[in-house]
Structure 1
Amino acid sequence: MRMVAVLAAVALLAASGCGADHDDTPPPATVEVFTWWAEGGEKAGLDALITQFGTDCRGQRFENGAVAGGAGVNAKQALTERMIRHDPPDTFQAHAGAELLDYIDAGQVADLTGYYADWGLRDVLPAGLIDDLTVRGKIYSVPANIHRANVVWTNPAVLAAAGITAPPEDLHAFIEDLARLKAAGVEAPLALGRDWTQLMLLEAVLITDLGADRFAGLFTGATDWTSAPVAEAIGDFVTLLGYGNLDRDALDWPQAERLLIDGKAGYQLMGDWAAADLTAKGFPGYGWFTFPGNGNTFQWLADSFTLSTGAANLGGTECWLKTVGSAAGQQVFNQAKGSIPARTDVPATGFSPYQQSAMTDWKSAVQVPSCAHGSGCSQAWQSAVNAALRAYSTAPDPKTLQGALAQAATRFIRS
């Protein structure tokens, strides 16, 4: 009996020893979040959202699956390869809207419609945005923010040296100001980057020359890509390219932005993530205006998150998505990233002057989607348009460019 008692005591001590090193608390569950936010204001926003996730979702651990590259070019390729291997992350970043069509058709993302009711998102997101997020009656992503695409950023010192002290009233006046910069010796009056950034510029010109409704109709079939107004817009676009840097196809948007910061350019058309990036790079004195002729049109794009079909950590991913869509999550994320909340109930306190103006416009302006950032067209359509722009750089013929754009619309437009 004594031996039994000793053995029992030893076993108890052994168990106690294990408990001292390894308590009964289960290890945190991991949520792999796949994004392209790897630097600058984008990473700052992600870091703020991760902190909020840690507060909201205790017991869950964030695993960063970021792949760097402007507009997600590299990340989308890496994600495609993972999907082919049937190795999806729990959740991945995508531009809200038509860009998700390929994932939806492939059955790679889950229906989130019920969460919108559970979390009250229909009450705080604009009805137009809900409509754009809805595909065949279902919603497949939660937007973290709203970005505005049709914004021109300026170097006020460069403009002032050329005698330019106010934003141009229309596209004709903008072209005149570009000519003044060129005459003043500015190397590249309009800073330009690679294909998708050129598509942003083309879209802004199309909004000016067609108007908001006819522009939106380009992606629904209501507006003909072969029409004379589109030809006129392409002509204006070509004129603007003539005031840009010759190495545009070799630069991503941050490199093009550097021309603006260094005083080698006066203007850059870029989404409003540039605001946070310019500040982070020590250039807080930038100016901005809506692209000339766009009026009160707000060309939007939204970073959103999905629930991958068969996500390994369903509960943790649900908590991540709830944080992404929450007022607290959108406040801390967007203040750091430079975008604005998709929700309309987040107070403007703590946001920059630019963000506050964009938040006001988001509630009242005419909203149109962006093909360059996936809210207006599918990834395949976007790729075809970017290829047409690259081809134009090699063999610049406006009629050929218009024909290629029309052909892309014919191939990919969906009812």
Structure 2
Amino acid sequence: MKKKMGVSLAAVAALGSIALTGCGSQGAAPASSGTTPTTQSASGQQLQIFSWWTGVASSKALKSLIGVFNQQYPNVQVVNEAVAGGAGSNAKAVLASRMEAGNPPGTFQVHGGNGSLLSWIQAGDMQPLNSLYQQQGWYHAFPQSLLNLLTVNGKIYAVPVDMQRANVLWYNPSIFHKYNLTPPTTFSQFFADAAILKQHGITPLALANHGNWEATLLWSDVLLGTVGVNEYNQLLDGKASWNSPGVVAASQTFAKMLSYANPDYSALHWQQADQLVAEGKAAMNVQGDWAQGYFTTDLHLTPGTGFGWAPTPGTQGVFAAVTDVFGLPAKLKNDTPTLDFLKVLGSEKGQDVFNPLKGTFSPRLDANTSLYDAYSRSAMASYKKDPLVLVIGQGGANPGFTNAVNNAMEIFVTNHNVNQFVSAVNSAAQANPLS
């Protein structure tokens, strides 16, 4: 993670209007403080764990992780401060208020990368964890490419608990078999498949955008598949123009894809789009692999038969990384419980309990692959050998730019005006420098 220009706390608070992912709850769920203690403390120590993990898969995973912590630290009262609603938008708003008031939770969920984690670091609200990494041997447990996403000026500020791949095309194997289709590796093939599916009355692409982030994720994947890794990284680093021919071409491809999507995408949450694919009402869906947790834990589908997967067109050999990380807030009165929890969070045992339930996988290089299903094993293989890139809205850009892109996307999915959208994105980059 490179040192960036400062981002205000107001910009971080603005993320409350952005629905973020990570196997969160259904967007329509009511907000909740979730302040139910998991265990009682004999010593008076308490640990508040703040996240947006309230969905079926993610809440089970968090409960299991807390169970491991309870076994090792039985004298700490754990308070699960998960906040439901908007797959993270409500949680972000609550967290911003608490941080500004100088009342941080013991630790909190955030995406690794150049997004809100960097904003909290720049605001002076996080403590470095270099000594913890040295003590636990984590400099060798995680790949350097991941540690770079958590490091500013040589100081590392967070511990990753999971790894998710954002450039995944999910598809219904029965539909593809029936019409002799193969997962598209190029956009030309995608549109050829889509035309066949549409002729047979099947929605080619299931899309959701109720959370106002899902379409941005799809566009980010299309952008990566259009311009390639080098230009994509240059764009996110502020070293390339956001009105370049590649950005225009990607936006044109995205607009064309919308013509093959379900018309009610603005009303659907991401799980509902996944369900359309699972039920055979749609053939494909582009989503991060938190969708795999939904397919397996919520719908009880078997990888390979109940659902299939492939890299999104043009992104073979690239891993679009989304990682949930936790750090050490700077204004805690007692940081010992947090440090102890981070030890469990980053441990092989903690991660191998957590990730199979959540539908994600452990980012540790020594993770036990036998604990994971066929999809996760394939994702783990890519993660270990392919270049990692960040994703807009999932840690890949500062809050101001992300918020502006999501706002422009909300208009773009309605009017399909490529020139207007590209102009808005370019203006967002100028107003919110990425370098």
Confirm or deny a common fold (TM above 0.5): yes
Q: Structure 1: which 5+ runs fail to align?
A: 1-24
Q: Structure 2: which 5+ runs fail to align?
A: 1-40
Q: Which amino acid aligns with 1:78?
A: V
1:242-268 deviation digits (Å, cap 9, x = unpaired)? 111222222221122222223221111
Q: What does residue 378 of structure 2 align with?
A: 357
Q: Does 1:316 align with 2:337?
A: yes
Displacement of 1:233 after TM fit?
0.8
Q: Which amino acid aligns with 1:331?
A: D
Q: What does residue 45 of structure 2 align with?
A: 29
Alignment of 1:100-115 (within 5 A): 100-115=117-132
Q: Does 1:405 align with 2:421?
A: no
Q: Which amino acid aligns with 1:287?
A: G
Q: What does residue 380 of structure 1 align with?
A: 400
Q: Is the 8 A contact 1:71 1:373 kept in 2?
A: no
Q: What does residue 212 of structure 1 align with?
A: 229
Q: Which amino acid aligns with 1:364?
A: K
Displacement of 1:356 after TM fit?
1.0
Q: What does residue 25 of structure 2 align with?
A: none
Q: Please, which of 129, 136, 143 is the counterpart of residue 119 of structure 1? A: 136
Displacement of 1:78 after TM fit?
1.6
Displacement of 1:61 after TM fit?
2.2
Q: What does residue 279 of structure 2 align with?
A: 262
Alignment of 1:284-295 (within 5 A): 284=302, 285-295=306-316
Q: What does residue 143 of structure 1 align with?
A: 160
Q: Which has the higher helix share?
A: 1
For residues 123 and 220 of structure 1, the distance between their equivalents in structure 2, rounded to whole angstroms, comes to 27
For residues 70 and 160 of structure 1, the distance between their equivalents in structure 2, rounded to whole angstroms, comes to 35
Considering only CA atoms, is the larger Rg found in Structure 1 or Structure 2?
Answer: 1
Q: Please, which of 63, 85, 100 is the counterpart of residue 101 of structure 2? A: 85
Q: What does residue 265 of structure 2 align with?
A: 248
Q: Is the 8 A contact 1:41 1:276 kept in 2?
A: yes
Q: Which moved more, 1:394-403 or 1:255-264?
A: 255-264
Q: Is the 8 A contact 1:41 1:273 kept in 2?
A: no
Q: Please, which of 309, 333, 345 is the counterpart of residue 366 of structure 2? A: 345
From the superposition, tell whether residues 216 and 70 of structure 1 become closer, same or farther in structure 2 (CA, over 3 Å).
farther
For residues 263 and 393 of structure 1, the distance between their equivalents in structure 2, rounded to whole angstroms, comes to 24
For residues 335 and 245 of structure 2, the distance between their equivalents in structure 1, rounded to whole angstroms, comes to 51
For residues 166 and 414 of structure 1, the distance between their equivalents in structure 2, rounded to whole angstroms, comes to 38
Q: Please, which of 301, 305, 315 is the counterpart of residue 283 of structure 1? A: 301
Q: Which amino acid aligns with 2:421?
A: L
Displacement of 1:70 after TM fit?
5.0
Displacement of 1:404 after TM fit?
0.9
For residues 278 and 90 of structure 2, the distance between their equivalents in structure 1, rounded to whole angstroms, comes to 25
Displacement of 1:58 after TM fit?
2.6
Secondary structure (helix, strand or coil) at the match of 2:222 reads: helix
Q: Which moved more, 1:258-267 or 1:401-410?
A: 258-267
Q: What does residue 233 of structure 1 align with?
A: 250
Displacement of 1:71 after TM fit?
4.4
1:155-186 deviation digits (Å, cap 9, x = unpaired)? 2223334x044212311101111121111111
For residues 376 and 327 of structure 2, the distance between their equivalents in structure 1, rounded to whole angstroms, comes to 25
Q: Which amino acid aligns with 2:290?
A: W
Q: Is the 8 A contact 1:191 1:260 kept in 2?
A: no
Q: Which moved more, 1:183-192 or 1:215-224?
A: 183-192
Q: Please, which of 330, 347, 350 is the counterpart of residue 329 of structure 1? A: 350
Q: Is the 8 A contact 1:31 1:313 kept in 2?
A: no
From the superposition, tell whether residues 412 and 136 of structure 1 become closer, same or farther in structure 2 (CA, over 3 Å).
farther
For residues 28 and 264 of structure 1, the distance between their equivalents in structure 2, rounded to whole angstroms, comes to 53
For residues 81 and 179 of structure 1, the distance between their equivalents in structure 2, rounded to whole angstroms, comes to 48
Q: Does 1:299 align with 2:299?
A: no
1:300-327 deviation digits (Å, cap 9, x = unpaired)? 0100002112224411110111111111
Q: Is the 8 A contact 2:50 2:109 kept in 1?
A: yes
Displacement of 1:28 after TM fit?
5.0
Q: What does residue 63 of structure 1 align with?
A: 79
Q: What does residue 17 of structure 1 align with?
A: none
Displacement of 1:395 after TM fit?
3.2
Secondary structure (helix, strand or coil) at the match of 2:282 reads: coil
Q: What does residue 22 of structure 1 align with?
A: none
Displacement of 1:188 after TM fit?
5.5
Q: Is the 8 A contact 1:192 1:268 kept in 2?
A: no
1:77-121 deviation digits (Å, cap 9, x = unpaired)? 121122233222111000011121221222222222221112111
Secondary structure (helix, strand or coil) at the match of 2:110 reads: strand
For residues 86 and 364 of structure 2, the distance between their equivalents in structure 1, rounded to whole angstroms, comes to 25
For residues 202 and 44 of structure 2, the distance between their equivalents in structure 1, rounded to whole angstroms, comes to 55
For residues 190 and 434 of structure 2, the distance between their equivalents in structure 1, rounded to whole angstroms, comes to 35
1:175-222 deviation digits (Å, cap 9, x = unpaired)? 111121111111463333332111111111111111111111111122
Q: Which amino acid aligns with 1:338?
A: G
Q: What does residue 411 of structure 2 align with?
A: 391
For residues 105 and 406 of structure 1, the distance between their equivalents in structure 2, rounded to whole angstroms, comes to 24
Q: Does 1:157 align with 2:157?
A: no
TM-score normalized by structure 2?
Answer: 0.86
1:37-89 deviation digits (Å, cap 9, x = unpaired)? 00122112112211111122231122100012454222111211222332221
